[in-house]
Amino acid sequence: MTHPVLHRPLLLAAAAAAIAAALPTPAAAADFRNEVAIEWTPGGLANDGRRSRDISYNREFGNGFALGGSVGYGNVHKEKSDDGLLLLLRGRWRSPYINALGFIKPQIGIEYGGTTNIFQTADLAGVYLGAFMEASPELGVTVDYWTGTSHYESGNVNYKRSVNGVRLGLAFRY
* Per-position b or e across 95-114, b if 16+ CB within 10 A of its CB: beeeeeeeebbbbebebbbb
Average pLDDT in the chain? 83
Q: What's the CA gap between 148 and 110, in Å, rounded?
A: 9
Q: Could you count the other beta carbons within 10 Å of the beta carbon of residue 156?
A: 5
Cα–Cα distances (Å) from 24 to 11, 56, 95, in that order, read 22, 22, 20
- DSSP assignment of 49-100: ---EEEEEEEEE-STTEEEEEEEEEEESSSTTSPEEEEEEEEEEEE-SS--B
CA 155, CA 24: separation in Å to the nearest integer? 46
pLDDT in tens, 26-76: 445 556 899 999 999 998 888 877 788 999 999 999 889 999 999 999 876
Report the share of the chain in percent with pLDDT over 70: 78
Percent of the chain predicted with pLDDT > 90: 46
Residue 78 and residue 106: Cα distance in Å, rounded? 29
User: Picking from 9-18, 49-58, 114-123, which range would have the lowest pLDDT averaged per residue?
Assistant: 9-18
Residue 106 has pLDDT above 60, yes or no: yes
Count of residues making up the chain: 174
CA distances for 130 relative to 51, 104, 120, 133, 163, angstroms: 18, 10, 30, 10, 16
Rounded Cα gap, residues 33 and 107, in angstroms: 16
* pLDDT tens figures, 125-149: 999 999 999 999 999 999 999 999 9
Say if residues 17 and 73 touch (Cβ distance below 8 Å). no
Q: Amino acid identity of 16?
A: A
**Residue 100: pLDDT band with limits 50, 70, 90:** confident
Domain 4-23+30-173 has CATH 2.60.40.350: no
| Cβ–Cβ under 8 Å, residues 38 and 50 | no
Task: DSSP letter for 146, please.
Answer: E
User: Is residue 14 pLDDT above 80, yes or no?
Assistant: no
